[in-house]
Chains A and B, each alone.
Chain A
Amino acid sequence: MDLIRVHIEKAGLFTSIQDKGRDGLRYYGIPSSGYMDAISAELALSIVGNEPGSSLLEINQLGPTLRFETSAQVALCGGKMNNNYERNVLHKIPSGHILNIGSLIEGMRSYLAVRGNWRVKHVFGSSSVYSYDAFSIGRVKAGDYLEIEKGNSIIPTQTATTLAIQDFNLIDSIKVIPGPEFEWLNVRSKAAFYKQVFSISLQNNRMGAKLTAAPLFSSKNEIPSSAVFPGTLQLLPSGQIVILLQDGQTTGGYPRIGIIPKKELWKFCQLKAGQEFLFKE
Chain B
Amino acid sequence: MLLINGIRFKKYDFGEHAVLLRPVDQEQFLPIQISKTAEFIYELSDPEIKEVITGIADICLVLENKQAFNFKKLEENTPSDPALKLKLLAITVDFSQGLDWERVQEYSNLDKESCIELLINTTFQFQMCGFIPGFVYLSGLPNVLEIPRLGTPRMKVEPGSIGIGGKQFGIYNIESPGGWNIIGKTDLPLFNKSKIPPLDLKVGDKIKLIEL
CB-CB under 8 A for A123 and B194, given A27-B52, A227-B60: yes
Residues of B contacting A130 in the complex (Cβ-Cβ under 8 angstroms): 133
Q: Which of A29, A123, A229, A231 contacts B129 (CB 8 A)?
A: A29
Total contacts A to B, CB within 8 angstroms? 113
CB-CB under 8 A for A226 and B133, given A26-B51, A132-B175, A134-B193: no
B50, A227: Cβ atoms closer than 8 Å: no
**B107 → A minimal CB distance (Å):** 19
B205 interface contact, C-beta 8 A: no
Instruction: Say whether chain A's binding surface is mostly helix, strand, loop, or mixed.
Output: loop
Q: Fill in one digit per residue for B22-60: 1 if any A CB lies within 8 Å of its CB, else 0.
A: 000000000100000010001000000011111111101
A179, B57: Cβ atoms closer than 8 Å: no
Residues of A contacting B13 in the complex (Cβ-Cβ under 8 angstroms): 180
B53, A179: Cβ atoms closer than 8 Å: no
**B37 → A minimal CB distance (Å):** 13
A-B complex: 10 closest residue pairs judged by Cβ atoms:
A227-B60, A134-B174, A226-B55, A224-B56, A227-B53, A259-B15, A224-B57, A29-B130, A26-B51, A30-B133
A177 interface contact, C-beta 8 A: yes
CB-CB under 8 A for A261 and B198, given A226-B55, A251-B53: no
Question: What are 6 A-B contacts with C-beta separation under 8 Å?
Answer: A28-B130, A177-B15, A180-B13, A224-B31, A227-B18, A227-B20
Q: Which B residues between 89 and 123 are near A, CB-CB below 8 angstroms?
A: none
Residues of B contacting A226 in the complex (Cβ-Cβ under 8 angstroms): 20, 53, 55-58, 60
Residues of B contacting A180 in the complex (Cβ-Cβ under 8 angstroms): 12-14, 20
**A189 → B minimal CB distance (Å):** 20
Q: Fill in one digit per residue for A106-148: 1 if any B CB lies within 8 Å of its CB, else 0.
A: 0000000000000000011000001010111000000000000
B132, A132: Cβ atoms closer than 8 Å: yes
B9 interface contact, C-beta 8 A: no
Which among B51, B57, B133, B193 has the greatest number of chain A C-beta atoms within 10 A?
Answer: B133
A31 interface contact, C-beta 8 A: yes
B140 interface contact, C-beta 8 A: no
